Copies of this chain bind each other. A is one copy, B any other.
Amino acid sequence: MRRQTIGIVGGGQLGRMLTVPAKQLGFDVVVVDPGENCPAAQVGAEQIVGDLYDKEALKKLAEKSDFITVEIEHLDTKELEAIEKLGQPVNPSPRIIRLIQDKYRQKVFLREAGIPTAEIAEITEENAVQIFKKFGGKMLLKTKRGAYDGRGNMLVKSHKDLERGLKQFADAQLYAEKFVPFVKELAVMVVRSKDGEIKSYPIVETIHERNICIEVLAPAEVSEPVAKKAEELAREVVEKLGGVGVFGIEMFLTRDGKVLINEIAPRVHNSGHYTMDACATSQFEQHIRAVTGLPLGDTKMLVTSAVMMNILGERNGPTEVKGLREALTIEDVSVHLYGKSPTKIDRKMGHINAIGEDLQAVRRKAEKARKAVSI
């Protein structure tokens, strides 16, 4: 039998961190990515240079691959569907990616499946004010498609905000979500195998700034019933999607202890980076196992607590890593750099994982390391 190849649409940091365990398990990897010498190519993936909507590039990927997967949901699902129809396994399925690309349809799907979410409504210039009122004067205005890491999102608290939002997103189809007065944002990474086996990782708390994830606490400091409920819901979402691979399920914990599903990432996810240093099987190896039809690995944590902090770019210009030495003087800290250049303000350039016994102590170590590093 010849060596099998995994094709990944996207060769950024997620593609990079998928490539490492893929190689470890004996697979070759090929990625499509627009930037020369992308992060995945730097760790041995073959790269087809092309953007994620480039039909020729995706066709080439399909020709070279035995299994196809994605590191990002912003891509050409039509082309992936064509590839799937030719009999090539694509996981997660393009059907799921298409559903998730449209955040409004995603929410409708969840609500119709009986999964609790925030209230939603489609927004037009005509009904905007009325919905704003209905949602109690506080809502998130979102573009249905193409939104992530804060792009295409706006918190609307006044008619002025609303006017500004409608103007800013004038070209996009919009919907609104009633603002959820959450006390914590939570996430559960779920993996589903080709045989339908489902496993979930411990629940984590995610902390965002400027709509970008900056910190993940594992496990989340929530009550046992909340953790159980959240893990059940997350698994239910993936079960109902019928997806294969790793999914990141993002949630809100409300003041009154309810768990609402906020968003589905049909892929490995920033809130699962802690698994690289804290769990028996990382989310990346797990995803490779799932999409290649291998048995799932154990999701348990090997340590009591773990904290992940993103290293976001702090300036615009050629990448220059400062403070690595200082960060690594801190015990039980790992630094993961993505090999990206140039650096840009708020670009995800790497992350820090810290592990240990007491979550707050671990958090302080991660914070100290994070402060030491600048890129």
Interface residues, chain A, CB within 8 Å of chain B?
Answer: 1, 3, 20, 23-26, 41-44, 280-281, 285, 289, 293-295, 297-298, 302-303, 319-321, 324-325, 328-329, 331-332, 334-337, 339, 350, 355
Contacts and interface: CB of A to CB of B under 8 A. Distances in A.
Copies of this protein, total? 2
User: Which 9 A-B pairs have CB atoms at the shortest separation, nearest pair first?
Assistant: A26-B337, A44-B44, A43-B44, A295-B329, A295-B328, A302-B302, A42-B44, A26-B321, A294-B328
A325 B43 contact: no
Nearest to A330: B295
Contacts of A3: 319
Contacts of A26: 321, 324, 337, 339, 350
A335 B1 CA distance: 19
Main secondary structure of the interface of A (DSSP, over half): loop
Given A26-B324, A44-B43, A280 B332 contact: yes
Contacts of A295: 325, 328-329
B280 A355 contact: yes
A42 B23 contact: yes
A25 B20 CA distance: 14
Given A1-B320, A24-B337, A337-B26, A325 B355 contact: no
A334 B298 CA distance: 10
Contacts of A20: 20, 43
A206 to B, nearest CB: 23
A49 B23 CA distance: 21
